[in-house]
Amino acid sequence: MGARGFKGKMVIFTAPSGAGKTTIVRHLTKRYKNQLGFSTSATTRDKRDHEVDGKDYYFLSLEKFRQKISDGAFAEYEEVYKDQFYGTLKSEIKRIWSLGKHIIFDIEVKGATNIKSIYGDECLAVFIKPPSFSILVERLKNRKSETQSSLSKRISRMKKELSYESSFDEVLVNDLLTVACKEAEIMIESFLNVSEEEE
């Protein structure tokens, strides 16, 4: 497939924190590595020890992020918490299409609805749902990456995010991860008309 002038499709996976979207997206990105390009989001939040700038996120200062907003550099962005922004750079979309690949996103709920509203039918938006709210809270606590205050903020945000479920094309319940990954593969193959790659 010639990359020049290629305009692929988009697949968005979104979910409240702890629902397992990042694990599922990593699985799909590996399985369809020649057909899917992962869209790296930009953020102003602090980098965690295991994260790599340019791979996990583009880590930007608040000042630089705001400058990019002024420059119209984002396809979508949102202030998720006070002074903590996340967004998708237009240059990232162009970069992946220039490789002749479709784009896979792992983004929060509001960003997902924004991308879907811009790109419409060229975009499949999948909402990953936990088996129950209490399991979601338990998963978040088990991460041990939250202070009591940030956990409370996340829990109130999760309640709001779960109400967006009906805004998306597909809902995927992540109870058993292996089953959820298989169901996600079926969605990808059907929407993009691709097949699993040989190892």
Q: What is the pLDDT of residues 90-105, one digit of tens each?
A: 999 999 999 999 999 9
- Whether 56 is in a domain gets the answer yes
pTM: 0.85
Angstrom CA distances, 39 to 15, 106, 144, stand at 16, 8, 27
- Whether 153 is in a domain gets the answer yes
In the chain, pLDDT over 90 holds for what percent of residues?
66
Check residue 1 and give its pLDDT. Answer: 43
Helices 21-31 and 177-192 pack at an angle, to 10 degrees, of: 50
Q: Max CA-CA distance within the chain?
A: 51
Q: Report, as ranges of residue numbers, the positions in the chain whose pLDDT lies below 50.
A: 1-2, 198-199
- Whether 131 is in a domain gets the answer yes
Domain hosting 15: range is 10-190
Distance CA 55, CA 154 (A): 24
- State the total domains in the chain: 1
Distance CA 32, CA 141 (A): 32
Length of the chain: 199
Q: How far apart are the first and last CA of the chain?
A: 20
List Cβ neighbours of 196 (8 Å cut-off, separation of 6 or more): 31, 32, 185, 189
- Whether 146 is in a domain gets the answer yes
The CATH number given to whatever domain includes residue 175 is 3.40.50.300
130 HSE (CA, 13 A, CB side): 20
- Whether 196 is in a domain gets the answer no
- Whether 198 is in a domain gets the answer no
Q: What is the per-residue pLDDT across 149-189, written as a single tens digit (0 to 9) for each?
A: 888 888 888 888 888 888 999 999 999 999 999 999 999 99
Q: Are 20 and 180 in contact (CB under 8 A)?
A: yes
Check residue 198 and give its pLDDT. Answer: 47
- Whether 195 is in a domain gets the answer no
Check residue 3 and give its pLDDT. Answer: 56
- Whether 135 is in a domain gets the answer yes
